[in-house]
Every structure is written in structure tokens, then in C-alpha cells.
Amino acid sequence: MTTESSEDRDIAIIGMAGRFPGAEDLDAFWRVIAEGRDTISRFDADDGAEDSDLDGPRDGEQYVRARGVLQGIEDFDADFFDVNPVEAAQLDPQHRVWLEVAWEALEAAGYAHDRHQQMVSVYAGSFPNTYLHHNLLPDRAAVEEFVRMRRAQSFGLLVQSDPAFLPSRTAYKLNLRGPAINVQTACSTSLVAVALAVQGLSSYETDMAIAGGVCIAVPQRTGYFFQEGAIQSRDGICRPYDANACGTVFGNGAGAVVLKRLADARRDRDPVLAVIRGVAVNNDGHDKVSYFAPSVKGQAEVIATAQALAGVDPGTIGYVEGHGTATPMGDPIEVEALKLAFRQATRKESCCLGSVKGNIGHLDAAAGVAGLMRAVLALRHRRLPATAHFERPNPELRLEDSPFFVNRETGPWPEGPHPRRAGVSSFGIGGTNAHVVLEEAPVDPEGACDLHVPEKTTLLLSARSRAALDAYTGRVAGWVDAQCGGGQAPRPLTEVACALQQRRKLFSHRRAVRVVSWADARSALRDPERWDTETALEGRPKLVMSFPGQGSLHAGALARPLAEEPGLRGYFEPLARAASELAGFDLLGWATDPSADAEPLRRDNAKAQLAVFCVDVALARWLESRGVRADGFVGHSLGEWVGAHLAGVLTAEDALWAVHRRGQLMQETGPGAALVARLSEADAAPYLQGEVAVACVNGPQLCLLSGRPEAIERCAARLAADGVVSRAVPIDVAVHSPLMNPVVESLRRELPARRWHAPDRPLLSPVTGKWMLDGEVTSPDYWAAQPRLPVRFDAAVTTLLEEPCCVALEVGMGDSLTTLVRARLRNPKRQRALPLLGRPRDAAGWAPERLQRGLNELWACGIDVDLLGDLDPGTAAPTLPTYPFQRQRYWKDAPAARRATRQPLADAERVGPATGAGAAASADDLRDQLVDLVHDRSGIAREALDPALPFSSLGLDSLFLVQLAEVLTARFAITIGFAQLSQFNTVDKLAAAIRERTARAHREVAPSPRTGALGDFRGLFPLRRGDGRFPLLLIHGDLGNDLLPPLLPAGQSIYGYAHQGSDGERIRLRSVEALAGQCHAEWMAAEKGVPCIIAGHSFGGLVAHQVAYLLRRAGLPVDLLVLIDTAHPRCFKNPFPPGLRRVRRSVRHAIDGAGLLRDIARAELELVRRGRVPIADRSRYVLGMYELVGRRHAPPFLDVDTLLVCAADDDNGVAGNGWDASEFRRLEVESVPGDHLSIVRSKEAFEPIAESIARRVKHLHQKPTGHDR
């Protein structure tokens, strides 16, 4: 057996993350392990125990309150993962915790970003979802609704709850494109996931893999009954391999590792935490005592197979992280299997044996990865960990006959002739076993650095919110402190800067911190004055460089920038030399010597223009060297020539000649002057007298006027007299005025000799205010006329800001153009204007590091910038702090124990109160209703719901839209399908579509007596019109329709709803749901969804119940439901149901099961023959059909206050007519004298019912209405 390692076969662990009882991260986890601590929670009834439903142990029973509790499972950073609040509250907490842990592991590895090309897979598994059963499905009705999958909401809950979706949700949220495989092998799930990931990497099916598992059982703070012979501990303490071991304790936790082929990891300079040399998975088969029992043979075979595949001698393995459940059967069988696998290792006490379960308990699906991490941490720290609660070995293990020993305390792991190696076992109930052989990571050469050695660099930090950014800055500061222990740091600071830039995802809230050493970084990360913090634009911005025609240029202006940025000097010097030859002037010396004479440039326009041109071009080229590439250019006057050169229209030689010649010719036009005035171009017209012209239109109320000095002086006096603010500008030629006509003529003759080329990027003309065509750009006539024509920079800015997401970067000395653009920004969240240098701080020039800060600001607003240049990233990247999730509580509390409550989907279906149907609502009202509806269903803040944004941009997926379509259809009584929501994909579009459709339906079917809204059958008719408050709908009330109105308040609107088939027509709606849907549509057309009362008699009560359910599901208020002697369908199960016994006595004819079918068949035959059921047969036809329809109906839970009135003379032996209080928000039951029919036909019998309703109506009238309620 060879002991040599092969990088081609070995797998590197390059990232890990976990959350365990008492340990929020791996640093805390190692402290728990190293200290041998037990973090199992033990509690009693007065200490937050969640077992209040417990009646108490019976005689002889021992109840143990102990469990490994994971803190914060109710909390989640939903915004980070783009999960809306409603979905977050329904999402299995295992999925939520796993998403965060998987992200942290991938981020620790350096690949939680989209800039790499790696194919990443997910292999993961979880515990069964107890949150669904305990918190979301509180009663049998909810279970039925969920398992039958009759609505989109149920399917949504399935996707949010089922363990099968854990890996694919991870792949979707983290944008991973490799296989996403769900793993479930009980207790060995997470280690089997690791083994499958290794196999996928070995077969080159993937480049990287996230593997692990999660277990969160809800409720957490609950105990168990100890039972002799079972696996749970007698006293709530887990003692692996100890003589007093009496069972395990379960706990919650999650862990994930990131794996990669070792050769690839070394190539990509990834942090290697440990190396997987071999893995194996098998099953015990039938060779054991029982299905639940472990097998010596099965475990020994999987361990030996992993060792053989690893190519290592068992004698070189110094630590085994065992399964270690501390059960009387499990531990001896495990150790016996280890002895067989290690039989060649003859040296006594050569291998430490331990188990993490003594610290944190048995984490089921996460147990294997927890053990793997413990072994990796032991290798990293070179320490052999203690096993918690170990005092003396279980004599059944016979460790004296083996190479194994168990540590009572954590101790050093001595170095030997071989790399340190460890084995990790995990065995699942049912017999699926896994074993992994680990080896310590290859040792990289130490690169210790003095804390004060200069390393000028920038630390780049980002997060999704300002709070998270501040928290992350704090984490990095703490990490830097930890690295600086002992007066030295373990690596150059530049390697940390490279990792932060290259191996972290860029978020919108950004911060750049310029530092010069490790010691400086410790203080800079805590000093907000050292930070450049900005929020990136929403979207991918286009960058347009703007170039000024002048600037804050003075002698020595470039001294500091050129000294700080040698690269800039490399671009400026060649241009300055060429310009100096043309002008006979030492431009480089003048620009770098603060004591140089300023007059040469002040007196000579040609030299001044050359200087500005050279500075602007050099700055732009330096930016390009730092990865900043413009998408377009715009210049002001001379600056337009800079853009033309950078776009490739003119070479440097030709551009310098043209700029110099332009300056010479302008100088020859004689003296001139200019002033800037707070005027529009139109308002400036009266002042354009003599030789005064509008030279520049820089803003809606900002013009530059130029001309001869005496003319400008007279103009300034007139402006002052008229109260117009103006100021002189230090220009000594009459730029962009008719005095430039000689310049135009000369340039027209001379410019054609230059070489002109098509631009490689667009140019925005400040002459026309439009993007230039290729023919314009290369036209010498355009450039010849440019010094004469006015600069319409304001028009150019208007065109520039038509780009919805852009950055205007002023490249030059000053910020004048930035000021002009900022004043016109339409959307500061998507548009920004920045100066690279800005104004000089003082006479000495710009502040230190100003250029670097300009780059920082550019990066922070979302532009790609190489802030670090060609820094060496080192041989292996550091493992940096991970993202600080900003968690909030997303949790549905469990209902009270032993008590049924509302349906699990009720909260998801609830929407804001409606003010009316779409046809009646104003456009603004309807839009507000839809915003409220989306808010209530998704939990997205109203202020974040932009009505013009597509649903997809709001993070609403197709499943949400399917559910939304169902609610819209119910609410507005029109059909809105998923396809329509794809078309009407914003709130604004949807509101317009609903208004148009409901208006059309309103026109086509206006409510009238006996005419409702839609469908072949229309049963709604008004009994009395009132003031519109709390209208009452009475369904199938028979003569009660006439008896009720006089007994209710005079202003009460009352509607009746006729029996379908009562006129002898065919009964076409043959389910309670269909009948209720038709009634609901008619009611919505008539009353627009105002708060109402619904009553129903007999079978009509079932329809009324379902109509109330539809209204509440659409978010519409139902203030009271009255069921008048309505029996629950469960009472219909007998061959001769009580409900029909009562009807039989009342209508004097017998109905049995067979008779029902005969009556219906006879009626249907008459419909075929005559088109109508004879009068004599109609009651039997209607009653028979209602009996069959009622039998099939399953009333849902109803979130409505309900009054049930029972006829006292019809004692059917079923309390409350079969209804249970748990099926309503609140149920009151009253008994009135009379039988099933007399209570609605006799005024005397009906009066108690009417009085009971009237009392409640009066109470409602005393309450606020509509939205006020």
C-alpha cells in the first residue's frame, strides 16, 4: 500500500461554515471542542420549555428536558436571498439556515460571486420538516388542503417545505450550475453528501461542490421520555465511549463544506483547510440483528475501503472522529469495527478516538458534517480534541486491545514522519455507512510581515445595506486585529486586499479604505474619516467621461499627483514633451514646479490649451490603465478635442497640432472677455448688443457671454442695473463668438491635411447636443466651426441623462462640469456625476491620495475599477470574515396546544380591505388596492412596490403570480390568469386591465331583480334597497325572504338568492363550490365587496358558508355569517340522514338513498322531454340534488364570526348540527322553537332569529366602517 499523495486524486476542503448549539461560527465551535464543553440545553417548565401540552409522565416514566438548541432559527436575512416576507415565514427554517451556511462556506472559499467560471454542485440533505406540521398545519382541515394540492398556495407551501427542494433552492439562490442532489440516509446524510461530492469531483462532473446537511426539529425546547433500551440518554447527557454512557441527546445544527480537486485548488490559490484522501459508502444489508441495529461487518468494510482508496496505512492515522452515539449497543459495535479496520495498526494508543456528540448532541442529518469539521479543525490547530464527559472507557470497548485511546482533555497532536491524518465515520439508522480519510493541508511557506512595513493598498468592502456594511467593516477590523498578534502578520497586507477585491461578491453599498500598513489598517478600519462610502447605482451604469475646456491649472499643479501615481507620469511626460516642442515651452517643468512663473500660460492661449489637453488626456489614459473604460465622451469647448483623440479620431500628434493651432488662431483674434450670467438663452437676447454673443449655454438659467472687453463691461453694467447676477470669467479671448470667424476660415483650410479616423466610441456633441454620427466626427468642417459656434452643454447634458443608468466622470482639473450635470440629474439612484480630481484643496494643489480617492468613489458607485493593479495575490488566499447577515424574525407561531385554529394558508391569502370592484374604483384607488394586495401577500414594503416596475424586478416569481391570479379572480369577479399577469406585468398595467375588464362586465350585466352578474343561472334579487352599509344576503331563505325585512333596521339593504332549479330549469351548478362561485360573482357585481352579512337556510347555509370563505380569501370583509338550521355534511353519511328526516317530516314525502336517484333521474328525463321539470316534481328534484351535492362538500375553516341557529323541535342527536367551534373564528349556537321549515315560514317562529340578527346588525352600525375598521 503506497503512502504517497496524488494531487490529481485528492480533494481539497477549501471552505467551511456551520452553526451549532452554543456556537454561531467555526471559531466558537472550536472553542467548545477544545475546552471539552457541553452546549446541550437543559430546561424545565419554568425555563421556556415548549412542551406545555404534556400531561405529565405516567407512573414509571422519566421525562428528560434536554436538547441541543440552535439559537435564532426564527430569524433570517430574507432581503439578502430575495425572499419575500410571506414566503420567508413559510419557508422551512432548515432551508433558511442552510442557505446562510452554504453562502458562508462558499464565501469562505472565495467563490460566492459571479465572476468565476467554476461549475459548482450541491449535495445536501435535511431532517423532516417539523415546522410545517407543528406551526403551519394546525388542524385536520389544513392538512387536507395541503395534501390534496387543490390550490396554488398549497403547491407553494410544498415547495417551501419539502426537503427535496433544499439543494435546488440553494443552486437557484446562489446561482450554481452544477448538479443539485438531495441526499437522505438518516443520520449519515451529510457525510454521504460529502462522499457523493467527492465522487462527482473525481469523475469531473463538477469543478466544485458544496456538501453538508441541516437538522432543525421544531419545537426545540422540548424533551423526551427515557425508555430503557432506546437510544436517548437517561439523564440528558451524552457520554461517548464512557463507562457511564446511557444514550444520546439530539440537537439542531447545520454545516457545509466546499470541495475542489486539490490540483485545481493549488492552481487557483484557494485556501486549503484539509485534504480528503479517500471516501467510501456502503450499507449493512441484512447482516445485523435488526433494521435499526448497527453492523460490525458493514462498518469495518466501509472504513477499510476508504483507507484503501486513500492509499494510506491505518497506522498513520492519528485521530478518528467516531459516530459515538454513547448507546450501549452502538459504541461497542463501532469500536469493534474500527479494530478490524485498523488491525494492521499494532502500536498501542497511537490513534485518538472521539466524538463531537458529547459537545453538541446528535444532529441527525447534520451529524456527519459536524464530525468532519471537528476533525478538520483538529488538523488545522494540530490538537487532539477532548471528548466531553469522558472519564473512563466503557469496558465493553476493550480499548486496551486496540490502538485507540480517548482524550479527557485537548492536547497537542505531535508531528510524525507522515502528514497528520484523521478518519471520520457516520452511520445512519437503516445501515447506510460513510467514512472519510483526511490529511492535513500542504504547508505553505510562511510570509510573516512586520506590522509597520509600508504596503500602500486599498481594502474594498461591500454589503447589501448600510447597516450590513458597517457590521462587515467591524468584522474585518476584528479579523485584522487577530492577524496582528505577536507584532507580526502572517502574510502581506496586499494579499488581503487582493482577496477582498477578487474573491468577494460586490454589493450595492460599498466602502474603500486606503491603508499603508497592517498597523495603519487597524486604525483606518475604525476611522470613518478614512472611508470612501457610496451606494452603487441601481443597474449597470454606462460611463461617460467629460472633459473641461479650462480647469484649475496652475504652476506645480501636477507635482503631487505625478509623485503619488508613477503611472500617470508615464502618460503625461510624452504628451508634455511633444507639446513643449510645439509651443517652445517646458510644460513638464511648469506643471511640476510650484515656484514656476504662471504668466506664460496666462498670456498665451495656445500654451494654455495644450496644457489642459495634455493633462486631460494623461488622466484619461491613466484611468484606462486602472480598468476604467468609458462608454462615451463629451467635452466642453477644448474638451471636445480630448474626447476625439481618446475615441481614435485623431492621433496624439495630429490632436496636439490641431489644439496648438486652434489656440494660436484664437489668440490672434485680439483681446476678449467673458462673463457668466444667471439667464436663459432667450432672456439673454436683450443684452446681445455690439460685439456680445452667447458663447455657452451651460444650464437652463446659466449662460456665458463673450465679446470685446469694453462690450462685456457695458453688458455687465446693464445686467447689474436689471438685478441679474453675473460675474467675470478669466478668459482673454472672445470664445465662441463672431470674433472667432477668422479662426474658422483658417482651420477649414488647414485641418483637412490631418489624418481622420472613425471613432471607436461615441462622442456627444456640445454643439448640437446630440450623439455624433461618424460623418460628423471625421468632418474637418465641423471641427473648424467648433471654436465659433456656441457650446450648448445644457443640451448635451439633456441627451446624456436620457441614458437611464449612467455616470458622468469629469476628467480634468476642477469640478465645473460635474456641478452642471448634478443640477440636472433625473434619478440620483441611477445617475451620478463625479469629478476625478475636483477643486484643489489649497495653493499647494490637491489633497494627498486625491486620485486614489477618485478611483475609490468611481468603484463605489458601480464602475469596474482595478484599484489594486498588479499586486501579488499570494500562494493561497486568506480565509476572510463572512457576510454579516441582517436577520429579522420570520416565523409563524404554533397554535395553542390541543386547540384547532385557522387554516395555514389564511395569512397568505389575506389581502388588504377592498373599497369596491374594479369598475367602481378610481385608477389611483385601484392601484393602491393592488399595491396593498401584493404587499400583504409578499410582505414587500409598500414604499418598495413601484407600480411601474415589472413583477420580476420586485422578486416575485411565477408561483407567486399563479397565487396572485387566483386571488384577483376571486376579488374582482373576472378571470385573471397567469398568462395575463405575464402580459400585464406591472401594477399600473394590471390596474388598467382590471378597470377595463370590470367596466365591460358591469356594462354587459347590470344588476337587476333576479339578475346577478355572470353565468346561465342568476339568483340574486333585491328585497330592499338601503344605505349600502352592511347589506345582508339571504341564500335559499324560502318565506324568510319576506319575513326578515320588516324586522331589521330600515336602512338595511337586503338581498335574496333563489334556489337553482326552483323554476323547473336544469340544475347545472352541481357543487357547493360552483354555486358559491356564481353567487359570489353576482354579489360582487351588485355590492362591490363592501362589509356584509350573509345568512343561509338549510343547504343554503352551506352555500353561504362557501361564499363567505371566497370573500375572505379575496380579503373582503364579512362581518357575520348566519347558518339557519344548516347541517354539516358529515351528518349526511347515514343512509337516511337526519337532515332529510327533518325535511321528510315537513314536506310529507319519503326520501331514501335509492329514492334520491330515482327522483333526480325522473326530473332529468322530464327536462329532456319538456325542457322543464313539472311543478309537482321540483321540490324533490332540488332537495335530491342538494343532498348529493352536500354530501361531497368539505367546508373549509372560516375566519368569520358565525351564528348557528338550530330548530329545537328537530332533535337529530347531533350537537350543533355537526359543526365544531374549531371550524370558525368564533361560533355561537342558539336554539329556537320550531322545526326545519317552520322557523323560516312562521313569523312567530322567525322573530327570535330576526331579533338575534338585528342585535348584531345594530352593534355593527355602531362601529367604524371600511378601511377605518
Compute φ and ψ for 844, nearest 5 degrees. Answer: -80, -10
Query: Which residue among the candidates 95, 362, 435, 1059 is catalytic per the annotation?
Result: 362
Instruction: Output the CA torsion sign for 141, 144, 146, 148.
Output: negative
How far is residue 304 CA from its own chain's centroid? 45
C-alpha cell at 729: 470669467
637 is an active site residue:
yes
Q: Are 1097 and 1240 in contact (CB under 8 A)?
A: yes
C-alpha cell at 967: 386571488
362 is an active site residue:
yes
Amino acid identity, position 231: I
* 258 DSSP β-pair partners: 15, 210
Q: Are 1138 and 1126 in contact (CB under 8 A)?
A: no
**Residue 1062 CB: number of other CB atoms within 10 A?**
16
Question: In sequence order, what DSSP letters do the residues of 785-850 get, joined into one string?
Answer: HTTTS-B-HHHHHHHHTTSSSEEEEE-SSB-HHHHHHHTT-S-TTTEEEEESSBS-SBTTBSPTTH
Residue with cell 415548549: 50
List of residues 6+ apart from 912 with CB closer than 8 A: 929, 932, 933, 935, 936, 1115
Q: How far is CA 1228 from CA 105, 333, 902, 1252, in A?
A: 56, 62, 17, 11
Residue with cell 442529518: 365
Q: Are 279 and 436 in contact (CB under 8 A)?
A: yes
C-alpha cell at 379: 488538523
187 is an active site residue:
yes
Query: Which residue among the candidates 637, 737, 765, 1098 is catalytic per the annotation?
Result: 637
How far is residue 1149 CA from its own chain's centroid? 65
323 is an active site residue:
yes
Alpha-carbon distance of 1015 to 1079, in angstroms, equals 10
**Residue 559 CB: number of other CB atoms within 10 A?**
16
Alpha-carbon distance of 297 to 300, in angstroms, equals 5
Alpha-carbon distance of 1102 to 714, in angstroms, equals 92
Query: Which residue among the candidates 121, 238, 246, 323 is catalytic per the annotation?
Result: 323
Alpha-carbon distance of 131 to 890, in angstroms, equals 12
Q: Are 390 and 352 in contact (CB under 8 A)?
A: no
Our CA angle for 1260, 1261, 1262, nearest 5°, is 90
* 1124 DSSP β-pair partners: 1097, 1205
C-alpha cell at 229: 433500551
Say which DSSP state 1034 is in.
E
In 3-state terms, the chain is what percent helix, strand and coil (to 5)? 40, 15, 40
Question: In sequence order, what DSSP letters do the residues of 1095-1162 get, joined into one string?
Answer: EEETHHHHHHHHHHHHHHHTT--EEEEEEESPPPGGGGGSSS-HHHHHHHHHHT----HHHHHHHHHH
How far is residue 865 CA from its own chain's centroid? 26
Active site residue ranges = 187, 323, 362, 637
